[in-house]
Amino acid sequence: MVLFTGPLYSGKHDAAKAYAEARGKNLDELTVLEDAQAFFFEHSDETFSQVQLETLAEEYGKADLVLITEVGSGLVPVDPKDRAAREYAGRFTNLLAEQAEEVYRVFCGIPKRLK
């Protein structure tokens, strides 16, 4: 699995698209998740244990490519749902990065390979 991460609007989608196309693949067929924080915000009425996050990461980790938004780069949200979504997304991203074959951080449209 390949993980692209970075701040909102940093160029992750374009970098992942270029990565996929360089390998003769279509990004839409490979992408399983585009925004972890939005995913967890949609499920904000749920509480996720570490085991549940690990299971979810293992499931998403089976994909060829995961495009995900990094969180926690700014002020702590006032809203408890926003805070919980950010925390879960951050923990989830860490778990995905552990199992990823490649990890790219995209900033200002420039992908930098971390792993």
Q: Which residue has the tokens 């990565």?
A: 19
Residue 106: CATH number of its domain: 3.40.50.300
Which pLDDT score is estimated for 85?
85
Which residues, listed in sequence order, are joined to residue 66 by a DSSP beta bridge? 3
Which pLDDT score is estimated for 66?
84
Which pLDDT score is estimated for 14?
93
For the chain, what is the domain count?
Answer: 1
Which pLDDT score is estimated for 86?
85
Which pLDDT score is estimated for 99?
93
Which pLDDT score is estimated for 36?
87
Q: Within 10 A of 114 (CB to CB), how many other CB atoms are there?
A: 12
Q: What is the mean pLDDT of each run of 10 residues along the chain (115 residues)?
A: 89 92 88 84 86 93 83 72 86 93 94 96
Residue 105 parent element (H or E): strand 102-107
Domain residues for the domain of 107 are 2-113
Q: In 3-state terms, what secondary structure has residue 45?
A: coil
pTM comes to: 0.86
**Spatial CA neighbour of 95 closest among 64, 75, 68, 72:** 68
CB-based contacts of 52, cutoff 8 Å, min separation 6: none
Which pLDDT score is estimated for 96?
93
Q: In 3-state terms, what secondary structure has residue 113?
A: strand
Which pLDDT score is estimated for 110?
96
Which pLDDT score is estimated for 72?
60
Residue 13 parent element (H or E): helix 12-22
